[in-house]
Structure 1
Amino acid sequence: MNQFVKFIEKNSSGKKILGLFILTNCIYAFMLTVTIPKTMAFSNGMKLLDMMPMGYDLNYVTELFTALGANGRSIYLTNQIPVDMVYPLLFALSYCLLMGYLLKRLHKLNSQYIFLCLLPIIAGIADYLENIGIIVMLKYFPELTEFTVKTTNFFSLIKSISTSIFFIVFVVLLITIGIKVLHKKISANSLHN
């Protein structure tokens, strides 16, 4: 764990995090505006598996992959998935460092709160495992198994739960820092008056 703390301390400079944050969100915006709509053009309005935080089952996957047809499944596999193999690494790294940066600002980096920095890493790993499951299902469709769908769905749920918890904690930390800054300003003003 000491190595992890050292890594975060070494890399949690504002410029590095801002650069990673911008790159991560450019990739995310590209998926939202280009690769996902391009794939969904074949889906008859059905959401892609990556975009279902509450999960899915065998019936849904079968219905989606049937609706996509051969062209849609090919685009899912050759357009959306390759971009989504870059995004989880950037998400994990930039948001782990961002969380570390906020904890450092609160003087909580060398405490049990360091584990909060693992949330985006868990989400990133789950995203990769979800992608692998989707690749397997796309390659072997229509031969889908309940096991593959349930396993892939499990990783989709882990991804969405850890991402949600991360963003809740992130907002709480931002508010905490905001309150501290405000408190300092009020204290400084009352000293001058």
Structure 2
Amino acid sequence: MKKLSDFFYSKANGYLVLGFLAAQFTFSGAILPYFQKQFDPELNRGLLDLSFGFTPEKAFSILESYGEKGREVYLFVESFVDIVYPLTYTTAFILLLSFLFKKNSWNLGSLNLLPLGCLVFDLCENLGIIKMLNAFPEKADFWANFSSNLGMVKWVFAGITVIVVLISLVMWGVNALRKK
């Protein structure tokens, strides 16, 4: 892990961070909503990936509400698009943390790799959703619970990552003001 951590510290610069953040925002602001509108046109049915936990009944109800064509689109998104997206946001946040830790002159070891927790649990959550979609119309309770639980762990890692980013940004700003 140290080699991977050091690699990101060595590559982290403002341009690369901004580039990956732009890619991440493109996914979350344009690409994913485009696909979601194909299976949830009013954006009101819910999305399992964005839920902080769900019951098997709730998961089945949401998948049923998408219809056959919607489930096909959702399966495509989960199988391909939502593999690239976690890789993109994970890289963006690892680079951002590496950049901020360097700017703050913090030696926090491999803490810059914290977003890898999001990646691992997001991909596992996606696997469970894919299994539910492939089993439909059978209710795959095991996979619903699997996805729900791992999705919640994903969100915990995401929350911790955002908190660390915010603390790092504030401290970078404070240090910049002190130098003036």
Kindly indicate whether residue 42 of structure 2 is the aligned counterpart of residue 61 of structure 1. no
Match of 1:177 in 2: 172
Share of identical aligned residues, percent? 28
Question: 1:6: Cα distance to partner?
Answer: 2.1
Match of 1:166 in 2: 161
Paired residues, number: 180
Larger radius of gyration: 1
Structure 2 residue runs of 5 or longer lacking an equivalent are none
Distance 1:137 1:61 in 2: 9
Of structures 1 and 2, the one scoring higher in RCO (CA 8 A, sep 6+) is: 2
Tell me: CA distance 1:87–1:65, structure 2 relative to 1, closer, same or farther (3 Å): same
Match of 1:153 in 2: 148
- Select 1:106's aligned residue among 93, 104, 111: 104
Distance 2:142 2:42 in 1: 26
Which aligned segments of 4 or more residues in structure 1 are displaced greater than 3 angstroms?
A: none
Match of 2:46 in 1: 47
Question: 1:136: Cα distance to partner?
Answer: 0.8
Structure 1 residue runs of 5 or longer lacking an equivalent are 186-193
- The two structures have a TM-score, normalised by structure 2, of 0.91
Deviations 1:25-58 (A, max 9, x none): 2122223431122221288x32010121x21011
Distance 1:80 1:3 in 2: 30
Question: 1:116: Cα distance to partner?
Answer: 2.9
Match of 1:137 in 2: 132
> Which amino acid in structure 2 is aligned with residue 67 of structure 1?
S
Deviations 1:147-170 (A, max 9, x none): 211111111111111111111111
Contact residue 78 and residue 129 of structure 2 kept, 8 A: no
Match of 2:27 in 1: 27
Distance 1:99 1:93 in 2: 10
Over aligned residues, Cα RMSD in angstroms?
1.8
